[in-house]
Structure 1
């Protein structure tokens, strides 16, 4: 059966294991049910997530002009410390920025390839951790806006990484760490204006991904270079599909690509 549509990041539902869903056009696919089946991906065209035109995707699913214009790609998204809505100052669209920035945010520790610090809206817990392929995570602080979360992340990344090695995450070469101990160890480095928001008594969240076989060494599928690919789906972790031949495909990294997908 052939499905066709523009790629967007997979939706998830926490469970044992996590359930993954892909929306293509009017179809809503549970990818867990496709494990151990052959999947065929064909790149058809581009479709910018903002303007909808067939233009090469620049970043985050947007063509180059939209990336520098849409409020959905402002610098504050990747760098929360640049948020200004709490000052009533506009970046690209103040109404949108207030809606997204002026809500509860979490600063957290997650372990996917290594321990890292990150920021997400409270409403995105545990979705953000799932998208990063973290097998364990813990909240450090809960603050009322994105700016306070951002300055906390900046302060803490002097003492712990803010990056994930996606290759290590996908080969499952991971070590369990005591995130409660790490949370308490980092407490003295939290900025003074955030200190009252520290979360004292919470435990780790553990996540289980639907993977039947991890690759020894990964090779990434690039639709620009390989517009047609066929392989047996063996797992899903983070926003990646993992195939039997050690190929991995970053669904979120290919947002804005219009594809055809078939299963045998």
Structure 2
């Protein structure tokens, strides 16, 4: 069977194990069903996720022009503390920025390798944790806008990492910890503007289970710009990565906007 289309991040379903889907314009594929099977992935071209033009992808699925101009690629996406919609100040498109920034956000602790702090819109729970390959996650506070979530994350970066160690995550080198205990520690570190949103009662602990037959001892990333054709046996899916039997890993998120052909 052959599937062809523009890569976007895999859609997921919170189940045991997590269910993964590659969705193309005219078809979709339940990736879990491919475990243990040989796949060939070949690079066919580019298509910007914003303008749809066949232009080289610069970052996050956008061509250079769209990345520099699109409201959905502003600096506040990666740095929530830079959000200004709550002040009625526009970055690139105030209407869009209000829609995204002025909604409930969750600051959380998650364990993908070690304990990390992060921010997500409430509507993206638990999708955000799945995309990171977290095995456990727990909310710290729910706040009404992205700015408050951002300054909370900044305050907690002094005590927790804010990036996932992707190699450890893919090799299943995960720190064993009690996230309930870790959550209780943060109260004294919260910004004053956020203290009222912290509840000392226990939040729900999320546990996530991934469809992995075998974890690799070493990992090597597949880069479609350097290796335009790759074939291997799929041994797992975690985060937004496909894991192959030979230790090759393919980050779908990195190659959003790339047109590929997948042959099974």
Note whether the superposition's TM-score is higher than 0.5: yes
Q: Is the CA contact (8 Å cut-off) linking 1:139 and 1:199 kept in structure 2?
A: no
What's the counterpart of residue 203 of structure 1? Answer: 204
- Whether 1:214 aligns to 2:247 is no
Q: Is the CA contact (8 Å cut-off) linking 1:180 and 1:203 kept in structure 2?
A: no
Tell me the distance in 1 between the aligned counterparts of 2:45 and 2:163.
31
What's the counterpart of residue 72 of structure 1? Answer: 72
The alpha-carbon deviation at position 34 of structure 1 amounts to: 0.9
Count of matched residue pairs: 263
Report 1:237-252 matches (<5 A).
237-252=238-253
Could you list the structure 1 runs, at least 4 aligned residues long, displaced by more than 3 angstroms after superposition.
none
What's the counterpart of residue 256 of structure 1? Answer: 257
Consecutive unaligned residues in structure 1, runs of 5 or more: none
The alpha-carbon deviation at position 56 of structure 1 amounts to: 1.4
What's the counterpart of residue 181 of structure 1? Answer: 181
Report 1:19-34 matches (<5 A).
19-34=19-34
CA deviations over 1:54-101 (Å, ceiling 9, x no partner): 221111001111100011101000000000111111111111111100
What's the counterpart of residue 158 of structure 1? Answer: 158
Report 1:1-264 matches (<5 A).
1-201=1-201, 202-263=203-264
The alpha-carbon deviation at position 175 of structure 1 amounts to: 2.0
CA deviations over 1:21-44 (Å, ceiling 9, x no partner): 011221111101111111110100
Q: TM-score, normalised by structure 1?
A: 0.98
Residue 36 of structure 1 aligns to a residue in which SS? coil
The alpha-carbon deviation at position 203 of structure 1 amounts to: 3.4
The alpha-carbon deviation at position 163 of structure 1 amounts to: 1.1
The alpha-carbon deviation at position 200 of structure 1 amounts to: 2.3
Residue 68 of structure 1 aligns to a residue in which SS? helix
The alpha-carbon deviation at position 224 of structure 1 amounts to: 0.4
CA deviations over 1:134-158 (Å, ceiling 9, x no partner): 0000000000000000000000101
Q: Is the CA contact (8 Å cut-off) linking 1:109 and 1:183 kept in structure 2?
A: yes
Residue 161 of structure 1 aligns to a residue in which SS? coil
Q: Is the CA contact (8 Å cut-off) linking 2:115 and 2:175 kept in structure 1?
A: no
